[in-house]
Amino acid sequence: MTFFLEVIGTIAFAFAGALVAIDNDLDLFGIECMAVMTACGGGMTRDIILGNTPPMMFRNPVYVTMAVVTGFLTVTIYNKFIQSRYKDRILDMISILDAIGLAIFTIVGMDLAMQLGYTGAFLICAMGVLTAVGGGLLRDVMVNVKPVILTKEVYATASMIGSVFYYFTLQTAIPAVVTTIIALVIIFGLRMWTIIKHINLPVVEKKQQI
Amino acid sequence: MTFFLEVIGTIAFAFAGALVAIDNDLDLFGIECMAVMTACGGGMTRDIILGNTPPMMFRNPVYVTMAVVTGFLTVTIYNKFIQSRYKDRILDMISILDAIGLAIFTIVGMDLAMQLGYTGAFLICAMGVLTAVGGGLLRDVMVNVKPVILTKEVYATASMIGSVFYYFTLQTAIPAVVTTIIALVIIFGLRMWTIIKHINLPVVEKKQQI
Amino acid sequence: MTFFLEVIGTIAFAFAGALVAIDNDLDLFGIECMAVMTACGGGMTRDIILGNTPPMMFRNPVYVTMAVVTGFLTVTIYNKFIQSRYKDRILDMISILDAIGLAIFTIVGMDLAMQLGYTGAFLICAMGVLTAVGGGLLRDVMVNVKPVILTKEVYATASMIGSVFYYFTLQTAIPAVVTTIIALVIIFGLRMWTIIKHINLPVVEKKQQI
């Protein structure tokens, strides 16, 4: 089940990465690189920070392979996709898959940190958020786009709220499976709700300088 | 005492990070992220390079907490600050605090590398400089600004000169505490002196291409 | 022999890094930083990913020293170089040296991963490619240039093809030295051939959006 959700997340992230790459006129290698980095970069960064080397993505290349295949598919269907009358509907679907990825990678990242024996609340929650949003951050930094997760929308914040909930509820008597499902629903729900309602995080309104 | 200076450095760095974030229209999460990265990113990079994982900032979140609080404060006071008649005086004060941070983080980074048992002069000096300037570098790369430390002013260079002095003087009979104070004064002094005198590192004057 | 080729690669990479730095108006520290990062950043990233810390470049600063000297030389000769009637010939020579660096660093990176006891084909090939192209990637990200290796020319791809060949041929009865030479020739040859023939990787032709 986790594996199935991870596959969905990987494909959604890889697709998003490939789209950004194509928008930025990268070549085929660049597109594949961005698909892989978006899908696996968060986990890679987490593993490096935890000293869990070499990172998973290099030891078990199944996710990298999925990302590469997704990259090729994106290249193949891009023009059909962009001209399709279903374009907006497909993009909506991608948003949903991406929100699923956000939720599942947060929980997977936290579980992995706990499996490695770490206990600090901050470390574990940070590893969850990093696993979920690190790939998108790396992707944007690599093509010199101002990172989406730093500028708008409730993205990392949804992951963060869910991670704090998950961490503290795990300490209670509530069965882990229930906790996991609620945490996933919180992250996914917050993300989708703020997309639908166009809710963004506050920015500082700059008054005219005098 | 060291802790007190580290607090000053952390707050000054976090404030600088939050200001850059606001200038680049990041949202609240982005501002906090940049405050934390600027304040703790240098030490994080150093710990990753030394294999000292997970990095300190994740094990003892006191500095992260200070950076987050500084980020919130910066958001709160930004408009008052930017319109204040004391603006320039406050910015001068921030420059001084930042120079203190530069000096203290250089020494802290080197001490940590030596505590971990490393002895190579290059490694230890590099870790000092990286601790001091790595956060600012990460910050600028993340918002796609050309990194300040690579383009102007004597910043990393002051840290580097102080680190070499500190490393070699530590090998002599001079008491460590004296060495530390002199090294701090050298870095702080070089930084402030080059700010006041508007001294920059040389750039290559490009002649017209023929 | 390997050392001699590594020296050539280091100098060529450092020179390329220093040129990009000067083009982007960095100061002397920035130029040196970029020379070192381009020459040693790939190996550094590889070592961090493999948990081989602190990375080689910090333990044995001979390559860093070479990169720094190359950086100073580049600064010294830049204006003479840019106005020279031999400019294009020199740039051609740099391309050749860079292609030698690409080939040698791919093999060196793979050998190092294998010496550390790793066996996975994907990991080993990835470490070869990363050693070869990681420095250039870091360089471009640091000055906010869209990374050359993601946008055009057969660069990482040549490294990748050579690495796969090397990995699988090593498993056969063919002597390692023969395998090494053929792999080097493949990477170098592919790179030079695609430069001369102006062969690029495909990009996605974007049709007008309707």
DSSP string over C41-59: HHHHHHHHHTT--S-HHHH
Side chain identity at A44, as an amino acid letter? M
What is the tens place of the pLDDT at every residue in B154-198?
Answer: 899 999 999 999 999 999 999 999 999 999 999 999 999 999 988
Is residue A207 predicted with pLDDT exceeding 80? no
What is the tens place of the pLDDT at every residue in B14-69?
Answer: 999 999 899 888 999 999 999 999 999 999 999 999 999 899 999 999 999 999 99
B27 interfaces chain A, CB cutoff of 8 Å = yes
b/e sequence B35-73, b meaning 16+ C-beta within 10 Å: bbbbbbbbbbbbbbbbbbbbbbbbeebebbebbbebbee
Q: Calculate the alpha carbon distances from C106 to B177, C99, C180 in Å.
A: 47, 11, 10
CB-CB neighbors (< 8 A) of A21 in chain C: 150
Reading phi first (left if > 0) and then psi (alpha if -120 to 50, else beta), residue A51 is in: left
Give dist(CA A38, CA A12) in Å, integer: 9
Nearest 5°: phi and psi at C27?
-90, -175
Question: Rounded mean pLDDT of A168-184?
Answer: 94
A147 interfaces chain C, CB cutoff of 8 Å = no
DSSP string over C103-138: HHHHHHHHHHHHHTT---HHHHHHHHHHHHHHHHHH
Question: Rounded mean pLDDT of C149-172?
Answer: 92
ipTM of the complex: 0.89
Q: Count the Cβ atoms, other than its own, within 10 Å of residue C95.
A: 16
What is the tens place of the pLDDT at every residue in C21-78?
Answer: 998 889 999 999 999 999 999 999 999 999 998 999 999 999 999 999 999 999 998 8
Interface probe, candidates A23, A28, A29, chain C, greatest C C-beta count within 10 A: A29
A117 interfaces chain B, CB cutoff of 8 Å = no
pTM: 0.92
Residue B3: per-residue pLDDT: 84
Residue C45: per-residue pLDDT: 96
Q: Which two three-digit tokens encode residue A190?
A: 């917050």
Is residue A84 predicted with pLDDT exceeding 90? no
Residue C202: per-residue pLDDT: 82
Cβ atoms of residues A10 and A16 within 8 Å? no
Cβ atoms of residues C70 and C18 within 8 Å? yes
CB-CB neighbors (< 8 A) of C51 in chain B: 51
Residue B208: per-residue pLDDT: 59
Cβ atoms of residues A42 and A133 within 8 Å? yes
pLDDT grade for C105, boundaries at 50, 70 and 90: very high
Closest CA to B184 of B161, B152, B151: B161
CB-CB neighbors (< 8 A) of C82 in chain B: 206-207, 209
Provide the 3-class DSSP secondary structure of residue C203.
Answer: strand
pLDDT grade for A208, boundaries at 50, 70 and 90: low
Residue C78: per-residue pLDDT: 86
Residue C209: per-residue pLDDT: 55
